[in-house]
């Protein structure tokens, strides 16, 4: 897309945003509803402008998640897997030990959000193949060049138990809110938002179901992963990811323990200790905050520490009920 068409698409959606249904979240960005999904207001125009103008290359890899599903981790893993011929995962000068996964694998919406300062087209053109980019957009709001049946580029979706994502999001809001943790309401409010479908880029069930359906229809181009699988079988899941991305681990690599080295490089402890992840900053738009907000516990079932059984049951029931129709198995 030309710089003019990108700028005019952004301007068009910025002008549209104030007329869209609004949800004022307590402690997070205001959300606006478009095409059945709730966008953080500042990400609506960049997401939809990318949908309208981004031209995918056949070699592109698009990582898709809902916020707090493990985006940072997936970015690191996909980068390490696709770049391993240039940068061995046990190399002490590996890029992931010098920069945030969010800088190495940018969000497409961030590239568009920054367009006025750094034009998106040339920035994207300069990325080496395979370009690895991330989105929170629902499948139905992906650029057509990514989602049409004939598209050659690959999409990897990572989902996570919504209860753990809710807990993660609540902690994250408390860390990033410029007014301090006390300005964020109790966790029950985040549970309510998730159950009411106004979760950022939600409803969660529609987000999951769209990608689930796409992965069933085009399994060779859309992969559906779960955070829990990555936790329980890191090397095995990374092996499946590499195969899906068209760069399977060779027998020789498997014998040398390369999949395990990728998992170790991208582990929470290793990434958390990287200077850029400890002290670097993230963000434009809503707020600027320390990258350490992306690394907390990374546990399965942490919701038990924070939610009452009633909250958990309510959330489970809503999500299950909504997903039943889609044939998605939680």
| Residues designated catalytic | 136
Q: Which of 266, 274, 307, 318 binds ligand A3P (CB under 6 A)?
A: 266
- Sheet harboring 37-40: ordered strands across? 22-23, 31-34, 37-40
Report residue 124 CA to chain centroid gap.
18
252 or 269, CB closer to ligand A3P?
269
Does residue 295 bind ligand A3P (CB under 6 A)? yes
φ and ψ at residue 32, rounded to 5 degrees = -125, 140
Query: Which one of residues 187, 298, 318, 319 is an interface residue with ligand A3P (CB under 6 A)?
Result: 298
Closest separation in Å from C-beta 306 to ligand A3P:
10
- What residues contact residue 319 under an 8 Å CB cut-off, 6+ apart? 162, 204, 205, 330
Q: Is position 263 an interface residue for ligand A3P (rule: CB under 6 A)?
A: no
Candidates 242, 306, 243, 238; CA nearest to 266 is 238
Q: Which residues pair with 281 in a beta bridge?
A: 290
Nearest-5° Cα angle at 181, 67 to 178 = 80
Binding of ligand A3P at residue 73 (CB under 6 A)? yes
Q: Would you give the binding string for ligand A3P spanning residues 20-59, x where CB under 6 A is met?
A: ----------------------------------------
Question: Considering only 61-69, 199-207, 244-252, 306-314, which stretch makes contact with ligand A3P by CB under 6 A?
Answer: 61-69
Burial-class residue 188 by CB neighbours within 10 Å (0-12, 13-18, 19+).
Answer: middle
Give the residue, chosen from 294, 306, 319, 323, that forms a contact with ligand A3P under the rule CB under 6 A: 294
| Candidate list 6, 25, 65, 147; residue touching ligand A3P; CB under 6 A | 65
Residues of this chain that bind ligand A3P (CB under 6 A): 65, 67-73, 164, 168, 171, 266-268, 271, 294-298, 302
């Amino acid at each position: 897309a030309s710089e003019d068409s990108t700028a005019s698409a952004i301007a068009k959606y910025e002008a549209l945003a104030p007329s869209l249904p609004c949800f004022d979240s307590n402690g997070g960005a205001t959300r606006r509803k478009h095409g059945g999904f709730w966008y953080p207001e500042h990400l609506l125009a960049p997401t939809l402008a990318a949908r309208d103008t981004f031209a995918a290359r056949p070699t592109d890899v698009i990582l898709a998640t809902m916020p707090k599903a493990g985006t940072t981790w997936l970015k690191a893993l996909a980068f390490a897997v696709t770049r391993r011929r240039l940068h061995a995962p046990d190399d002490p000068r590996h890029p992931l030990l010098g920069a945030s996964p969010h800088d190495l694998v940018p969000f497409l919406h961030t590239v568009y959000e920054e367009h006025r300062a750094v034009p998106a087209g040339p920035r994207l053109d300069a990325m080496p193949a395979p370009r690895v980019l991330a989105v929170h957009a629902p499948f139905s709001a992906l650029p057509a060049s990514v989602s049409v049946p004939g598209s050659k580029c690959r999409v990897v979706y990572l989902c996570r138990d919504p209860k753990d994502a809710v807990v993660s999001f609540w902690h994250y809001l408390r860390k990033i809110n410029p007014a301090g943790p006390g300005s964020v309401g109790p966790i029950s409010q985040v549970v309510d938002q998730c159950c009411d479908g106004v979760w950022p880029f939600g409803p969660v069930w529609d987000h999951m179901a769209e990608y689930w359906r796409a992965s069933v229809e085009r399994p060779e181009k859309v992969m559906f992963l779960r955070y829990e699988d990555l936790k329980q079988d890191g090397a095995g899941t990374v092996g499946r990811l590499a195969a899906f991305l068209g760069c399977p681990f060779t027998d020789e690599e498997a014998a040398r323990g390369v999949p395990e080295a990728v998992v170790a490089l991208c582990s929470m402890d290793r990434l958390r200790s990287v200077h850029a992840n400890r002290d670097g900053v993230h963000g434009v738009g809503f707020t600027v905050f320390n990258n350490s907000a992306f690394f907390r516990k990374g546990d399965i079932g942490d919701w038990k520490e924070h939610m009452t059984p009633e909250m958990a049951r309510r959330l489970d029931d809503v999500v299950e009920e909504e997903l039943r129709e889609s044939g998605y198995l939680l």
